């Protein structure tokens, strides 16, 4: 089912996408990784939706690497797994919502927001997803600093 | 007329799992739906980064009782990618066999539930009786009827003996015949058709836009199936077609699933024919080098994806799990909207939802009294450590 290889897809991104790329890597035929500044996430989502059809958004992964917090968007386009990484510094702590461009992101963005305390700017439905309504404000289960549980997480990485 | 809003749940209208649905209705018509999940949040993702890679395998297996094999498979594939371990070919074939067995048992379970939801009890009883055949096969191969624990890092735990093979072939041929019979029933039986045809409609374009996966997506036209998009294990050696339907309704989803049972039987027979002799396990290192990996499998409910980041130790830094039901939720809300109140159970059940999967992560909710009590993270850690 390979329509294009990951390397070809990356070339297309590099030549057609006008914004800045902070990284581009194709570790296998079907895996492509690109990095973008967090402020460009909407323009990247728009670029992906405009360039390829259909676009599947598999999920959005949040990962607290002490600082920054990685927000990784796992797309499937043209038979390639396209992973877009935006690293959000804790001093910024917010990223634009892509739900209006990619409606599939709605639940995934709510999950990242409640687990890591990243504000999704412009999200149409910014409620919590799985945490209860009376969960304390400012307590983020997967965040590894004062607002999460420091002693319990691992310190490496 | 004023719109009325009413809640269903936290007990599911169809399956025995907790979530809370809120419907806005205008007379008999549902105009809007909202969902509240999290009743079975068990902090599995967090717990994964506190256990080593082998312990996580057993934890991930318990994300879901129905698709447990898909979870261990996907987890193992991601970790094997990170550790650069090649799984022996025979082990890959055995993994495929388990993967398809699980698809058969899960789709049959769903078909029975669907029959029950539309008041077609004899379908429910017939299907669940036949499902025992695949359950017996699973037990013969792995020793368990659920939580098979077949997958291990670097291979599988049990080999298929010639005696098992005979039993599997017999069972699969019987199931294939029965699945064909059910395919005929669900397309010709008027009592069934009247309840599922043109119920819970969603267009292919909309389903794809909302991120639906698996049979929910394919029943509306798009052909996204991880087994053909990203052939894992030995799926590129097997002849099978992706089942889609243009019906976009509950009948379409039923047909896709029944046809997938027939296909899964064929895949199992092909696997048994092609399975080479050889080792079933490869030695696996305790520590996994630094890196990150994404693995996808086509679980019975749709695409399952794992993201794992390792940091050169025996404990993963992050394990992220996205289960198919979460992907199907936005679409499911649209599926029930626009239909009748009486169709809510079957329309909602038609995505084959699984909330243990979806929540994964901890709340004590006393549903009986309506009190909810939240425990703080340190309190929970305290409890779990003092157990």
Query: Does the pLDDT of residue B358 top 70, yes or no?
Result: no
The pLDDT assigned to B375 comes to: 59
Asked if the C-beta of A1 comes within 8 angstroms of chain B's C-beta atoms, the answer is yes
CB contact under 8 A, A103 and B210: yes
The pLDDT assigned to B353 comes to: 80
- Minimum distance, in Å, between the CA of residue A56 and any CA atom of chain B: 6
Mutate to test the interface with A, among B320, B360, B380, B383 (most CBs of A within 10 A): B320
- Token pair listed for B317: 């830094």
DSSP letter for A74, please. E
Asked if the C-beta of A121 comes within 8 angstroms of chain B's C-beta atoms, the answer is no
Residue with tokens 């607002």: A147
Confidence band, pLDDT 50/70/90 cuts, at residue B357: low
Among chain A residues, CA nearest to B35: A129
Contacts of A107 in chain B (CB under 8 A): 326-327, 329-330
Residues B97-109 pLDDT 10s: 999 999 999 999 9
Among chain B residues, CA nearest to A142: B46
- To the nearest whole number, what is the mean pLDDT of chain B? 88
Contacts of A129 in chain B (CB under 8 A): 37-38
Query: Does the pLDDT of residue A155 top 50, yes or no?
Result: no
The pLDDT assigned to B355 comes to: 73
- Which has the minimum average pLDDT: A40-54, A129-143, B139-153? A129-143
Alpha-carbon torsion, ordered B99, B104, B109, B110, to 10 deg: 90
CB contact under 8 A, B224 and A153: no
- Confidence (pTM): 0.90
Residues A28-68 pLDDT 10s: 888 999 999 999 999 999 999 999 888 999 999 999 988 88
- Minimum distance, in Å, between the CA of residue A61 and any CA atom of chain B: 7
Alpha-carbon torsion, ordered B66, B302, B219, B236, to 10 deg: -110
Report the distance separating Cα B69 and Cα B71, nearest Å.
Answer: 5
Query: Does the pLDDT of residue B228 top 50, yes or no?
Result: yes
Residues B156-205 pLDDT 10s: 999 999 999 999 999 999 999 999 999 999 999 998 999 999 898 999 99
B362 vs B309 pLDDT, higher one: B309
Report the distance separating Cα B321 and Cα B359, nearest Å.
Answer: 10
Contacts of B228 in chain A (CB under 8 A): 1
> A54: cis peptide before it, omega within 30°?
yes
**Between A57, A134, A148, which is nearest B372 by CB?**
A134
Confidence band, pLDDT 50/70/90 cuts, at residue B345: confident
CB contact under 8 A, A152 and B329: no
- Minimum distance, in Å, between the CA of residue B153 and any CA atom of chain A: 21
The pLDDT assigned to A121 comes to: 93
Contacts of A134 in chain B (CB under 8 A): 372, 374
Sequence-separated (6 or more) residues with CB below 8 Å from residue B80: B86, B87, B153, B154, B284
Confidence band, pLDDT 50/70/90 cuts, at residue B369: very low
Query: Does the pLDDT of residue A101 top 80, yes or no?
Result: yes
């Amino acid at each position: 089912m390979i329509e294009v290889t990951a390397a070809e897809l990356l070339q297309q991104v590099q030549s057609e996408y006008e914004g800045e790329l902070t990284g581009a890597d194709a570790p296998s035929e079907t895996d492509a990784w690109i990095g973008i500044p967090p402020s460009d996430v909407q323009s990247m989502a728009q670029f992906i939706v405009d360039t390829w059809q259909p676009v599947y958004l598999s999920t959005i992964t949040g990962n607290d690497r002490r600082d920054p917090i990685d927000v990784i968007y796992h797309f499937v386009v043209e038979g390639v797994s396209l992973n877009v990484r935006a690293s959000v510094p804790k001093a910024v702590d917010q990223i634009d919502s892509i739900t209006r461009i990619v409606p599939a992101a709605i639940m995934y963005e709510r999950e990242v927001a409640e687990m890591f305390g990243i504000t999704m700017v412009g999200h149409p439905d910014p409620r919590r997803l799985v945490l209860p309504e009376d969960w304390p404000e400012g307590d983020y289960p997967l965040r590894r600093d004062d607002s999460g549980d420091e002693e319990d997480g691992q310190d490496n990485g | 007329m004023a719109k009325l809003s009413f809640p269903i749940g936290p007990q599911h209208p169809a399956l025995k799992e907790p979530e809370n649905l809120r419907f806005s209705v205008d007379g008999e018509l549902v105009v809007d739906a909202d969902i509240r999940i999290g009743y079975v949040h068990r902090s599995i993702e967090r717990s994964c980064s506190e256990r080593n890679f082998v312990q996580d395998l057993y934890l991930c297996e318990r994300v879901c009782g129905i698709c447990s094999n898909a979870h261990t498979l996907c987890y193992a594939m991601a970790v094997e990618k990170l550790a650069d371990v090649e799984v022996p070919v025979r082990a890959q074939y055995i993994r495929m066999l388990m993967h398809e067995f699980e698809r058969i048992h899960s789709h049959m379970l769903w078909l029975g539930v669907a029959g029950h939801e539309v008041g077609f009890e004899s379908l429910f009883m017939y299907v669940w009786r036949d499902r025992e055949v695949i359950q017996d096969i699973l037990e013969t191969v792995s020793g368990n009827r659920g939580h098979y624990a077949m997958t291990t890092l670097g291979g599988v735990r049990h080999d298929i003996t010639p005696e098992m093979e005979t039993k599997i072939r017999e069972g699969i041929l019987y199931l294939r015949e029965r699945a064909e019979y059910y395919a005929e029933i669900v397309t010709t039986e008027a009592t069934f058709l009247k309840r599922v045809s043109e119920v819970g409609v969603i267009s292919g374009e909309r389903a794809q836009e909302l991120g639906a996966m698996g049979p929910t997506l394919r029943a509306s036209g798009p052909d996204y199936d991880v087994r053909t998009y990203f052939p894992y294990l030995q799926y590129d050696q097997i002849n099978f077609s992706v089942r889609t339907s243009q019906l976009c309704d509950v009948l379409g989803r039923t047909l896709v699933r029944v046809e997938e049972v027939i296909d899964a039987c064929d895949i199992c027979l092909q696997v048994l024919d092609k399975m080479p002799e050889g080792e079933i396990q490869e030695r696996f290192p305790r520590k996994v080098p630094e890196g990150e990996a994404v693995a996808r499998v086509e679980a019975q409910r749709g695409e399952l994806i794992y993201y794992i980041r390792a940091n050169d130790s025996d404990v993963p830094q992050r394990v992220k799990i996205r289960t198919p039901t979460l992907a199907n939720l936005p679409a499911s809300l649209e599926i029930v909207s626009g239909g009748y109140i009486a169709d809510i159970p079957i329309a909602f059940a038609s995505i084959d939802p699984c909330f243990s999967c979806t929540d994964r992560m901890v709340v004590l909710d006393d549903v009986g009294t309506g009190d909810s009590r939240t425990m703080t993270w340190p309190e929970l850690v305290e409890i779990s450590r003092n157990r």
